[in-house]
């Protein structure tokens, strides 16, 4: 037992776990010990390997090396059902519900109480669900469909699911990301009750104060490696951040001074029913504007409407003073707008196509004439940008799928920068890429802004928002609730606005 001051034996432990996905090493020699009656925090930046760790505990991934120990005995989980049967409940970051089934069915799917002949005891399912809802203090009809539930309510259903089988280990991956203050408080009281009942809790949150409020012990990961496991008692928030980041923030976010020019992008009263409403803002030349907010606040939807991927129901987008035709990415591109999407595998790249083909995609009309594409021009364009962005690759004719996440992101950036945009919109530009490449992307964005490019950046990574942006726009439930200049933007002010705690303040009209 490499843990000091261990009273009871760990109920669930990972020892020297390693896991790779292709060439990407997601976890390397990570150990974790969960004790009954204790809430354990898992800290680390985005991409540090937290989600992979959780999925290993949940039986979704099987580790390449290392052991999972349940009550000290090595176990192998062949699937999520095995982990569940071992008493491990997992609440994922994004709720995984069946939209066409009722809440009650969602909670008890696969383990409904049964009567004789193996029939489902509907009455018992209904009753148990109603009891769970009462216990959680929410008013949700068990027979209601999961379709159309708000994210908070979906999260409640997930929590009820975990509660329903008296889990010995409760794993929560950012359960509070979309919850309001009171919902979070209610969740915490439920978690405390569970913990006092002897359950082990593994808790992930990007809100440090929540970690300190709820947990006794913390394990920190950085770049897929174990950094420290310790009691939270003697730690400060700064200590924790230092362990997570491993270096000073200033060094990590190389913000260059820029001269702000005229308005490049102006969005007026943009609305998409049920998604976002009345969103207005401007981005000027040489400026990096961050669009912050919680998952599901509607940020990606806003930038997609600006670029014309989704058609807005109302409102206008002006680029360089010209009004943009709504719902037309072609018009947006012609006006000099570029959008680096959030999901690079699905929307940013053609994974099976080569690096040069991907970079060439945005400029096919300029790479030849008469509808033909000249390979030499395509290759030249790709080579230029590969050098400029220090892309690490074998051959330009390799499929993008074989590159690491960071290099894939560089290809997406290259693809769009090659269009020589006036406005660059980046959606989660550094999600899931390693710290080194992350810093390169930040440096690149900074220098592009210094050259006069207008940058609009959607990011859930708070240090990134604070480190990079000249101005921070904060969205909450589909509305723009705050506009903070760089000097006023702190973790507290941004989070407060994002969780709707100061709805009126500085609202951009």
Partner 1 sequence: MTDLPRLRSPAQRDCLRPRARCADRPPAAGAAPAKQPRHRRFTRKDSGVTATIESPPAAPEADGRSARSLMDLVFRARELSIGGALLVLILGTWLANPSFLDDQGIKDLLLNSSILVLLAAGQSVVVITRNIDLSVGSVVGLTAFACGSFVSGTDHSALTTVLLGIGLGVLCGLVSGLLVSFGKVPALVVTLGMLYVIQGIDHAWAHGEQINASNVPDDVLGLGSGSILGIPYLPLISAAVLAGTAYYLRTYRGGRELYAIGSNPEAARLAGIPIRRRVLAAYAFSGAVAGFAGALWLARFGTVVADAANGWELTVVSSVVVGGVAITGGVGTVWGAALGALLLTTMGSALVVLKVDSFWQQAITGVLLLAAITTDRIVNLRTTSALRKRSRR
Chain contacts with partner 1 (rule: CB under 8 A): 58, 60, 79-85, 90, 92, 96-102, 105, 109-112, 114, 118-120, 122-123, 126, 141, 143-145, 147-150, 153, 274
For residue 271, the minimal CB distance to partner 1 (Å) is 15
Task: Pull the structure tokens for residue 93.
Answer: 């970051």
For residue 147, the minimal CB distance to partner 1 (Å) is 5
Which is closer to partner 1, CB of 141 or CB of 322? 141
Whose tokens are 């037309």? That residue is: 328
Angle between helices 405-417 and 375-388 (to 10 degrees): 120
For residue 102, the minimal CB distance to partner 1 (Å) is 6
For residue 242, the minimal CB distance to partner 1 (Å) is 34
Which is closer to partner 1, CB of 109 or CB of 231? 109
d(CA 413, CA 409): 6
Task: Pull the structure tokens for residue 344.
Answer: 């690079």
74: buried, middle or exposed (CB in 10 Å: 19+, 13-18, 0-12)? Answer: exposed
For residue 299, the minimal CB distance to partner 1 (Å) is 19
d(CA 323, CA 326): 9
Which is closer to partner 1, CB of 158 or CB of 464? 158
Which is closer to partner 1, CB of 153 or CB of 461? 153
Which is closer to partner 1, CB of 15 or CB of 164? 164
Segment 273-277 long-range contacts (CB within 8 Å, at least 24 positions apart): 273/313, 274/478, 275/301, 275/478, 276/301, 276/302, 276/305, 276/475, 276/478, 276/479, 277/478, 277/479
d(CA 431, CA 436): 13
Angle subtended at Cα 494 by Cα 489 and Cα 497, rounded to the nearest 5 degrees: 130
Which is closer to partner 1, CB of 122 or CB of 242? 122
Which is closer to partner 1, CB of 138 or CB of 351? 138
For residue 439, the minimal CB distance to partner 1 (Å) is 33
Which is closer to partner 1, CB of 114 or CB of 345? 114
Cβ-contact 14, 31 below 8 angstroms: yes
**CA atoms in the 13 A half-sphere facing the CB of 96:** 7
For residue 13, the minimal CB distance to partner 1 (Å) is 22
For residue 211, the minimal CB distance to partner 1 (Å) is 25
d(CA 281, CA 318): 11
């Amino acid at each position: 037992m490499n843990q000091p001051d261990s009273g009871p034996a760990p109920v669930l432990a990972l020892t020297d776990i390693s896991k790779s996905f292709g060439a990407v090493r997601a976890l390397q020699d990570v150990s974790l010990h969960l004790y009954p009656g204790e809430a354990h925090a898992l800290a680390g930046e985005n991409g540090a390997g937290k989600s992979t760790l959780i999925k290993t505990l949940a039986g979704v991934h099987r580790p390449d090396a290392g052991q999972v120990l349940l009550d000290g005995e090595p176990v192998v989980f062949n699937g999520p059902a095995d982990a569940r049967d071992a008493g491990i409940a997992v609440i994922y970051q994004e709720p995984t519900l069946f939209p066409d089934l009722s809440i009650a069915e969602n909670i008890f799917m696969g383990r409904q109480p049964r009567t004789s002949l193996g029939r489902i005891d509907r009455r018992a399912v209904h009753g148990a669900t109603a009891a769970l809802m009462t216990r959680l203090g929410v008013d949700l009809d068990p027979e209601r469909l999961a379709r159309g539930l708000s994210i908070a309510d979906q999260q409640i259903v997930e929590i009820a699911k975990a509660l329903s089988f008296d889990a010995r280990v409760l794993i929560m991956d950012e359960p509070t990301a979309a919850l309001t203050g009171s919902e979070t408080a209610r969740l915490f009281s439920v978690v405390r009750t569970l913990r006092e009942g002897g359950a082990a809790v593994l808790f992930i949150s990007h809100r440090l104060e929540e970690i300190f409020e709820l947990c006794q012990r913390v394990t920190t990961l950085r770049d897929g490696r174990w950094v420290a496991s310790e009691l939270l008692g003697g730690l400060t928030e700064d200590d924790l951040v230092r362990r997570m980041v491993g270096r000073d923030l200033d060094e990590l976010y190389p913000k260059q001074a820029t001269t702000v020019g005229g308005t490049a992008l102006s969005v007026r009263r943009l609305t998409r029913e049920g998604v976002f409403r009345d969103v207005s803002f401007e981005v000027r030349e040489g400026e990096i504007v961050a669009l912050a907010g919680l998952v599901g606040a509607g940020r990606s939807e806003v930038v997609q409407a600006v670029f014309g991927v989704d058609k807005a129901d109302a409102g206008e987008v002006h680029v360089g003073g010209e009004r943009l035709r709504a719902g037309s990415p072609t018009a947006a591109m012609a006006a000099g707008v570029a959008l680096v999407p959030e999901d690079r595998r699905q929307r940013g790249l053609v994974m099976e196509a080569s690096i040069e083909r991907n970079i060439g995609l945005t400029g096919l009309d300029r790479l030849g004439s008469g509808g033909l594409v000249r390979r030499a021009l395509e290759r030249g364009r790709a080579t230029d940008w590969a050098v400029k962005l220090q892309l690490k690759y074998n051959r330009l004719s390799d499929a993008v799928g074989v590159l690491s996440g960071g290099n894939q992101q560089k290809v997406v950036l290259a693809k769009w920068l090659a269009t020589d945009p006036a406005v660059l919109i980046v959606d989660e530009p550094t999600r899931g890429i390693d710290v080194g490449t992350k810093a390169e992307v930040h440096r690149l964005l900074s220098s592009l802004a210094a050259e006069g490019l207008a940058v609009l950046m959607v990011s859930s990574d708070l240090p990134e928002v604070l480190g990079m942006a000249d101005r921070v726009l904060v969205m909450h439930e589909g509305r723009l609730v705050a506009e903070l200049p760089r000097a006023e933007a702190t973790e507290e002010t941004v989070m407060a606005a994002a969780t709707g705690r100061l709805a009126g303040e500085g609202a951009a009209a």
